[in-house]
Structure 1
């Protein structure tokens, strides 16, 4: 489950012809507080209403996330075990029916704990990639445009900050759409995917909590984020930079599961079992 959230959170920061003109955005991601983890170069391919994000580790493609706006679904592809899963609105409603009772019990447990004990438990959850906001209802995200200007890899940009209450969860340096080649063509699918992701996570989390609030905040950013820094409990988790853009022909099959891969249920038989196992 945590793997799915990370893949889909990181993705948002985007036909029936055989070959189409597409745009490929190259993004470098680093892990400042995990020096043993090497940086990675990911590729995000956009064509019409479709978007594909490859997650590369140790020089090989480990995972692929595909958004197919025409079918209103996200495909999660694992190249390690040659499997794939589909996430749509109905799937997330079903997920919510299973996890919301457990979330409510956990929220009640935290509420009755002494402050010191609660803080310790929340820190433990954060270490597992679980934000306390996911345990309850919707938490409003505030997006602030600071006005600070920078240049990232040749792209002039303006700084934005995303806050959840008193906690800063993200920083973005945002370029005007006209400053990033191909981004105006891709603008529609980026916005569609953010809206779709917000809607499906609202189906999973009672009251629109959890990741839905984060995707809603993305819609308040005006332009293309050429740099994104993600925080957890005040610590930098990742930094992502746009390193280049290329326009190239893209085969329609690029947005399909690879031949020979096996489709798996999105929901595990036992929710205590991590996704992907």
Structure 2
């Protein structure tokens, strides 16, 4: 029993100094400033920002005149927060190695809407009736935040103002990654489009409680829409040709009658 005592003491001490807390998500885009309050007990509170994986950076306060420490370093205030430079993971710690973490995130950053099998980004699409359209909603994450969970939801708003959530359509998710960014995608497949599918399609992306949306207009055209101008031109040509033929026919008849009249006047019977 005595041999087990050091191990029991070690376990007890380890449990007393490690405090795993769920990092609250702080919206960086709320405007004004972002305030983080350290709830740990103890003195010598220090704040860190995780710049790279396993490389925390000590925050000394008054850094760039925007990071403010107050209340005995228990409160960190980020003045005029900026998405590119201030988004990240923060933590406060005490001399007893207790830590409390915070996740400061901006709203999801959208790329422009795309259609599958098309390279060009667009904010509206014109689709022929009965064709298919695959809309790609893409959110970009910096590589440091590649583990963040992004949830997607789709809505559409009709010209009359009605709005509905899309749950009965084919929706798939995908991911691409590069050195600096991770792309999360939600793809909605619209098949055999009808005139009733003409609407604003809204993709909503959420990072925890932080939400943002992107909108694209989808217009559905008649499958014969490209034919109508051609038929109109043909009709105009036919009408013009008919008018010319009628005019020429009438003019020829008038000239014939005039020629006949002149020949009658010159005949010997009329000359006596």
- TM more than 0.5: no
**Structure having the higher Rg:** 2
- Structure possessing the higher relative contact order (Cα contacts under 8 Å, 6 or more residues apart): 1
TM range (shorter): under 0.3
User: Greater helix percent: which structure?
Assistant: 1
